[in-house]
């Protein structure tokens, strides 16, 4: 089973093709119904659903019994025992309980849809009618994050200042990787308009995960150190001499070739940097989790609850309950994260930002010579 994406509009239209390259009608119609729904899902969510449906349909194609018929007929005939068999297969492959539960959420939505008029009532009754989830309940755990020292190590694995700047920016502001390319130079506050003693500034964000996949605007904070780092970057030759946009529309971040940065490019250069370091894991989202813990142990609020509210607004969570996962971190761990603090002292976030800047900044003259080989997005 393969996914084919055609871009006849702003968003891709998904086709699921079976092993004979025929369209699997029911899976394809389900994904396209999600695209058409008034409660539109974000493109990334659609891709996630399509991938999970593809994996289940591949399981059907290779099944000793249901593999004897086409996927659409197998979907009409299957029962809960087959779903249970698929979930057991996922667990046997070593997938985590959270991932397997994600598959079940998708398949429950899919099998419910099969009973609708839109699906021509491919099934008479819903498989999950009055039945709870059948996969193991995932355990709540602390999100995995990067500490200040790990951020420094990761950034030092990058060759160009523009890449280090983006990694530092994500850790400082908590933006999602999909939100970074939307930041414009004109969105950034002007330091000279604020008191010299101010260490944090408001930053306008065109956020992801709005209703129907729309942009969800919010404000977060950016530190003086990162804002200063950005202003240095704006004076570099690659950025300053690029006049492809009016000043009010110029992206804040370009790649090393002076082209707009993309989320995929950010993920790639972070993955490449990881290979060059001794770190076991790193990703844009772990940088964002690092932001969360940095705020939770910071001076921004007088109490833990104050910091939680600050964090909710910074990360763009609709519900405080989503942000509460960051309160699961034990107090001793919070204390160990404040390695630069003496007993009873508070670690200021602007000090973290300055430490990262001092350890990772590369002047333009010290950067490698840029060589373009084929198509590059770094």
Nearest one of 288, 297, 296 to 316, comparing CA atoms: 288
Last residue of a domain, one of 69, 100, 119: 119
By the 10 Å C-beta count (0-12 exposed, 13-18 middle, 19+ buried), 223 is classed as: buried
Is the Cβ–Cβ distance between 118 and 29 less than 8 Å?
Answer: yes
Q: Tell me, yes or no, whether 106 and 241 share the same domain.
A: no
Establish if 11 belongs to a structural domain: yes
Q: Tell me, yes or no, whether 206 and 109 share the same domain.
A: no
Establish if 274 belongs to a structural domain: yes
Domain that holds residue 267: 148-366
Structure-token pair, residue 241: 């001499």
Establish if 252 belongs to a structural domain: yes
Q: Tell me, yes or no, whether 111 and 170 share the same domain.
A: no
Establish if 137 belongs to a structural domain: no
pLDDT at 313: 62
Q: How far apart are CA 154 and CA 85, in angstroms?
A: 41
CATH number at residue 202: 1.10.443.10
Q: Tell me, yes or no, whether 197 and 340 share the same domain.
A: yes
Q: How far apart are CA 260 and CA 253, in angstroms?
A: 7
Read off the DSSP letter of residue 183.
-
Q: Tell me, yes or no, whether 289 and 193 share the same domain.
A: yes
Structure-token pair, residue 344: 């009873």
**Collapsed DSSP state (helix, strand, coil) of residue 306:** helix
Structure-token pair, residue 101: 């539960």
Strand partners, 217: 206
Strand partners, 83: none
Establish if 139 belongs to a structural domain: no
Establish if 102 belongs to a structural domain: yes
Structure-token pair, residue 188: 């950034």
Establish if 326 belongs to a structural domain: yes
pLDDT at 350: 86
Q: Tell me, yes or no, whether 104 and 60 share the same domain.
A: yes
Q: In the chain, what are the helix, strand and coil shares in percent, each to the nearest 5?
A: 50, 10, 40
Q: How many domains does the chain have?
A: 2
CA distances from 134 to 34, 100, 185 (A): 24, 10, 49
Cα dihedral across residues 201, 206, 211, 213: positive or negative: negative
Question: Which alpha helices (DSSP H) does 320-360 contain, by range?
Answer: 320-323, 331-337, 349-360
Establish if 131 belongs to a structural domain: no
Is the Cβ–Cβ distance between 80 and 127 less than 8 Å?
Answer: yes
Taking each continuous run of H as one helix and of E as one strand, the counts in the chain are 15, 4
Nearest one of 181, 157, 243, 159 to 169, comparing CA atoms: 181
Quickly count: other Cβ atoms within 10 Å of residue 251's Cβ.
20
Q: Tell me, yes or no, whether 101 and 152 share the same domain.
A: no
Is the Cβ–Cβ distance between 377 and 268 less than 8 Å?
Answer: yes
Q: Tell me, yes or no, whether 101 and 205 share the same domain.
A: no
Over the chain (378 residues), what is each successive 10-residue block's mean pLDDT? 70 80 92 82 79 95 95 95 96 89 94 94 92 83 79 95 96 90 94 88 84 77 94 94 92 94 92 92 84 66 56 59 52 46 58 93 88 57
Q: Tell me, yes or no, whether 171 and 268 share the same domain.
A: yes
Cα dihedral across residues 67, 68, 73, 74: positive or negative: negative
pLDDT at 332: 46
Checking DSSP bridges between strand 216-223 and strand 200-207, what pairing results, if any? antiparallel
DSSP, residue by residue, 192-203: GGS-TT--EEEE
pLDDT at 14: 82
pLDDT at 213: 65
Strand partners, 5: 14
Q: Tell me, yes or no, whether 229 and 114 share the same domain.
A: no
Nearest one of 78, 326, 107, 325 to 99, comparing CA atoms: 107
Is the Cβ–Cβ distance between 170 and 177 less than 8 Å?
Answer: yes
**Which residue has tokens 């060589």?**
371
Is the Cβ–Cβ distance between 297 and 352 less than 8 Å?
Answer: no
Q: Tell me, yes or no, whether 220 and 271 share the same domain.
A: yes
Structure-token pair, residue 16: 């699921």
pLDDT at 118: 94
Q: Tell me, yes or no, whether 165 and 210 share the same domain.
A: yes
Measure CA of the first residue to CA of the last residue in the chain; give whole Å: 32
Is the Cβ–Cβ distance between 233 and 239 less than 8 Å?
Answer: yes
């Amino acid at each position: 089973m393969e996914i084919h994406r055609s871009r006849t509009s702003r968003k891709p239209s998904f086709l699921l093709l079976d092993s004979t390259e025929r369209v699997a009608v029911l899976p394809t119609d389900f994904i396209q119904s999600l695209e058409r729904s008034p409660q539109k899902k974000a493109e990334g969510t659609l891709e996630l659903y399509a991938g999970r449906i593809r994996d289940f349909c591949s399981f059907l194609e290779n099944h000793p019994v249901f593999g004897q018929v086409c996927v659409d007929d197998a979907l009409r005939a299957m029962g809960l025992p087959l779903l249970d068999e698929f979930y057991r297969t996922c667990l046997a492959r070593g997938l985590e309980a959270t991932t397997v539960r994600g598959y079940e959420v998708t398949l429950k939505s899919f099998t419910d849809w099969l009973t609708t008029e839109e699906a021509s009532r491919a099934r008479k009754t819903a498989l999950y009618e009055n039945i709870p989830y059948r996969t193991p309940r995932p355990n709540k755990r602390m999100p995995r994050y990067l500490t200040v020292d790990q951020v420094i190590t990761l950034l030092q694995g990058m060759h160009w200042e523009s890449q280090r700047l983006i990694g530092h920016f994500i850790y400082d502001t908590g933006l999602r990787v999909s939100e970074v390319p939307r930041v414009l130079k004109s969105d950034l506050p002007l330091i000279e308009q604020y008191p010299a003693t101010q260490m944090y500034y408001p930053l306008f964000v065109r956020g992801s995960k709005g209703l129907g996949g729309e942009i969800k605007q919010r404000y977060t904070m950016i530190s003086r150190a990162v804002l200063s780092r950005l202003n240095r970057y704006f004076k570099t030759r690659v950025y300053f001499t690029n006049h492809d946009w009016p000043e009010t529309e110029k992206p804040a971040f370009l790649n090393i070739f002076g082209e707009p940065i993309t989320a995929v490019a950010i993920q790639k250069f972070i993955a490449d940097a990881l290979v060059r370091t001794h770190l076991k894991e790193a990703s844009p989202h772990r940088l964002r989790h690092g932001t969360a813990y940095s705020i939770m142990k910071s001076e921004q609020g007088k109490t833990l609850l104050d910091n939680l509210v600050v964090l909710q607004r910074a990360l763009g969570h609709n519900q405080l309950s989503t942000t509460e996962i960051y309160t699961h971190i034990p107090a001793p761990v919070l204390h160990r994260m404040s390695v630069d603090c003496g007993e009873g002292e508070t670690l200021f976030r602007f000090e973290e930002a300055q430490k990262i800047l001092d350890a990772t900044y590369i002047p333009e003259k010290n950067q490698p010579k840029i060589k373009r080989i084929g198509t590059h997005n770094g």
